[in-house]
Amino acid sequence: MAKILTLLASNNTQSINRTLLNIASQKITGHTLTKVEVADHPMPMYGIDTEEQEGFPDTAKQLRDILAEHDAFIIASPEHNGAMPAVFKNTIDWLSRLANADNPIFGKKPVLLLSTSPGPNGGATNLKTLTQLMPWWGADMKGSYSLGSFYDTVIDGVLTQIHDQELTEIINDFVGGL
Ligand SMILES: Cc1cc2nc3c(=O)[nH]c(=O)nc-3n(C[C@H](O)[C@H](O)[C@H](O)COP(=O)(O)O)c2cc1C
């Protein structure tokens, strides 16, 4: 039984990526699931001066410790202007300052990325970039899934059948490899 952490990289109270992450999480059985959101661990805007003058926020140390306690990660990230949201990049910047080559942010553990957006691209531009960046941060990248046109493909919280099958396969592949 693996300890899987789901991480929402959005601070939107009405996050559609949270909905996608919840749908994906419901497909996982036989493993322990923990849900964390970047908004649960608010951090000041990273700056070298801030780090030197104020040290590390407790929220960054807490999140580092939570990541270390888990075996695998499913991260759902929105796309903002073709990239990851600033709140997620800020979280990564703080975590990177607490990490080192032997203990990278994602601990050399398996990671699956998810993204959705109201538009047809489903955050795919950001997912492509994140897929390239995540190994720098110590992720063992296992795959990604982008869901376009969220409001046409998720009706009353339920994913339409063809997309649900796609997501089920992605989740089963990821979980089966743990
Ligand atoms: C500042 C900003 C930039 C955005 N840029 C993009 C974008 O580049 N690509 C995209 O597909 N959607 C973009 N969107 C729309 C988001 O996909 C949409 O707000 C979505 O709900 C974000 O996910 P969330 O609800 O999980 O936070 C942007 C939204 C905001 C607020």
CATH number assigned to the domain comprising residue 56: 3.40.50.360
Ligand 1 shell residues, CB under 6 Å: 10, 12, 15-17, 78-82, 117-119, 121, 123
Reported pTM: 0.98
Quote the mean pLDDT of the chain: 98
- Count structural domains, the chain: 1
Number of C-beta neighbours around residue 67 at 10 A? 21
Ligand 1 probe mutation, 14, 17, 38, 79, most atoms within 8 A of CB: 79
Q: Which domain holds residue 79?
A: 3-176
- Residue 91 banded pLDDT, cuts 50, 70, 90: very high
- Taking the C-alpha atoms of residue 85 and residue 9, their distance in angstroms, rounded to an integer, is 7
Query: What mean pLDDT do residues 69-86 have?
Result: 98
